Amino acid sequence: MKVILLQNVAKTGRKYEVKDVSDGYALNFLIPNKLAKVATVNALRELESERLQHEQNQKTKEVDLIESIEKLKDSRVSISAKINDEGKLFAGIDKGDIIDAIKDQKALEINPDNLVLDKPIKEASEHKITIKVGKKSAEFILDIVPRD
């Protein structure tokens, strides 16, 4: 039986894929749990239009994100944090902290997956941070300043 997957299903396939599965698996598990629906002609047409709309939305989001990172390029974002006598932070600065600072100071929404940061920042100083969207990338300077 051909079905359209409505969600990612382990060992079966990903969302929006058309799969040929056994009748029992489809009727007893996938369809009752709303993980799939029968692949009729109308359902396939709907799937194609949803897929096109999803791709269009993704392209629009990517264009908006590229515009956002262009605004952020070569700018400064600062975060205040508690620092010990040696200039080390008590708690590391991670992607979430940087995203929040960008949102507060620059009013830009950046996806954490686009931020390139291998490990949390543990030192108070200037750091170059890279944001990548597709093939585009931009760098900005993150200042970590002592908080009293």
Domain CATH for 9: 3.40.5.10
Query: How far apart, in whole angstroms, are the C-alpha atoms of residue 30 and residue 2?
Result: 11
Q: What is the DSSP letter of 65?
A: H
Query: How far apart, in whole angstroms, are the C-alpha atoms of residue 145 and residue 130?
Result: 19
Range of 21's domain? Answer: 2-63
The structure's pTM equals: 0.61
Question: Which residue is it, tokens 């029968």?
Answer: 38
Q: For each of the chain's 148 residues, which pLDDT tens digit applies?
A: 999 999 999 999 998 899 999 999 999 999 999 999 999 999 999 988 988 998 899 888 888 888 877 888 888 889 888 888 887 888 888 899 999 998 888 888 888 888 888 888 888 888 898 888 878 888 899 998 888 6
Left (φ > 0), alpha (ψ -120 to 50) or beta: where does 134 sit? left
Number of domains, the chain: 2
Give every CB contact of residue 2 below 8 A, 6+ residues apart in sequence.
18, 19, 20, 38, 39
What's the one-letter identity of residue 114? N
Same structural domain for residues 55 and 74? no
Residue 45 has which token pair?
């047409």
